[in-house]
Amino acid sequence: MMTSFHTLQLDKLNIFYREAGDPEKPTMLLLHGFPSASHMFRDLMPLLENDFHLIAPDYPGFGQSSMPNHEDFTYTFEHLSEIMTDFIEALDLNPFYMYVFDYGAPIGFQIAAAHPEWIRGIVSQNGNVYREGLGQKWATRQDFWNKPTPEKRASYRQAFAPETIKSQYLTGTPANSVGPDGYTLDIAYTQNPNYADNQLDLIFDYQNNINRYPIFQKYLRENQPKLLAIWGKNDPSFIFPGAKAFAKDDPHVVIKSVDSGHFALESHASEIAKNILETFG
C-alpha cells in the first residue's frame, strides 16, 4: 500500500489531503495541529494503513491547502470546523474514528458534538479539552484575550518564529530522537505572506475553544465514545493532567503516556500506533 495525495475543491477553497489504506476498512480522520499540517502523520499512516482507511487534510491557512488573506476569510475554529464538516460530507467519510492533536481537538470535538452519530472512537494525542490540561503559557494568553492590544498581538508573531517552532518539536523529547523534517517544513510554510495575520487571528480566537470545553465534555458524558488519550507527557503546552481528565466524563477512556513532548509522533509513532491498534483493533 501507499499514501496518495489529493486536492478537493470546496467552494473557492482547495483542501489538500493525504489518503492511505483500504476504503473498505474503517475510516480514521487525522486532524493536525499548529503550526503543522497533514505531514505530521507521515510516519503514523504507514503503521495503520493495513487496519484503517486514513484521511489527513490540511485546514485552510495550513500546509498545501488554500491560504486566503485574513481580510477575506474568517480564521476562527468554528469556521474551520464548518469547512472540515463540509470536507467530511463531500468525501462521505462518516462514520469514522478521529485522531485529534492540538488545534485538531477543538475542531474535531466541535464536529463530534454536532454529529455524535459520526464518531466511532477518538484518539486524542495532546488534544486538550480540559482546563486541567492547560500549561503555564496559557495564563499569558488569557491576559491577551482579556485586554487585547496591537502590541500584545504583535508579540505572538514569536509563536511561529523558527526557533519557537523548533523548540515545540524538541522540548521534552529523548536526545537525538526527532529529525529536522517536520519543523523545517513548518518553518517553510510560515513564509507565505498571508500566514502571520491568519495565525494571529486563530491565536486570539483560541479563547473560544476554552469556552467550549463544557460543550465538549457534555458530548463525552452523553455519548461515552471509546477514547484513547495518549500524551507526550513532557509537553509544556498541554500537560498530562489533561489526558487524565477525560476519565471524569468518559468511562471508556484508555489513558497512556509516552516519553516525548508536544509532537509525540516525531519520536514515538510506533508506540502510538501500537496503542491505537490495541484499543480499536
Mean pLDDT of 120-144: 96
Query: Contact at 8 Å (CB) between 245 and 219?
Result: no
HEC per residue, 83-119:
HHHHHHHHHCCCCEEEEECCCHHHHHHHHHHHCHHHE
Domain boundaries defined on the chain = 4-280
The whole-number pLDDT of residue 78 equals: 98
**Which of 37-51, 133-147, 218-232, 261-275 bottoms out in mean pLDDT, i.e. has the lowest?**
133-147
Per-residue model confidence as pLDDT tens digits over 224-250: 999 999 999 999 999 999 999 999 999
Per-residue model confidence as pLDDT tens digits over 55-86: 999 999 999 999 999 999 999 999 999 999 99
Is the predicted pLDDT of residue 252 greater than 80, yes or no?
Answer: yes
The whole-number pLDDT of residue 68 equals: 97
Question: Considering Cα of 194, then 196, then 202, then 204, what sign does the dihedral take?
Answer: negative
Is the predicted pLDDT of residue 1 greater than 80, yes or no?
Answer: no
Third-level CATH fold of 4-280 = Rossmann fold (3.40.50)
Is the predicted pLDDT of residue 101 greater than 80, yes or no?
Answer: yes
Is the predicted pLDDT of residue 134 greater than 90, yes or no?
Answer: yes
Query: Contact at 8 Å (CB) between 67 and 60?
Result: yes
Q: Which residues of 128-153 are buried (b: 16+ CB within 10 A; e: fewer)?
A: bbbeebbeeebeebeebbeeeeeeee
| Catalytic (active-site) positions | 262
Q: How confident is residue 281, by pLDDT bands cut at 50, 70 and 90?
A: confident
The whole-number pLDDT of residue 199 equals: 97
pTM: 0.98
Per-residue model confidence as pLDDT tens digits over 2-29: 999 999 999 899 999 999 999 999 999 9
Measured in degrees and rounded to the nearest 5, phi and psi for residue 18 equal -105, 145
Q: How confident is residue 100, by pLDDT bands cut at 50, 70 and 90?
A: very high
Which residues, other chains included, contact 224 with Cβ-Cβ below 8 Å and sequence gap of 6+?
250, 251, 252
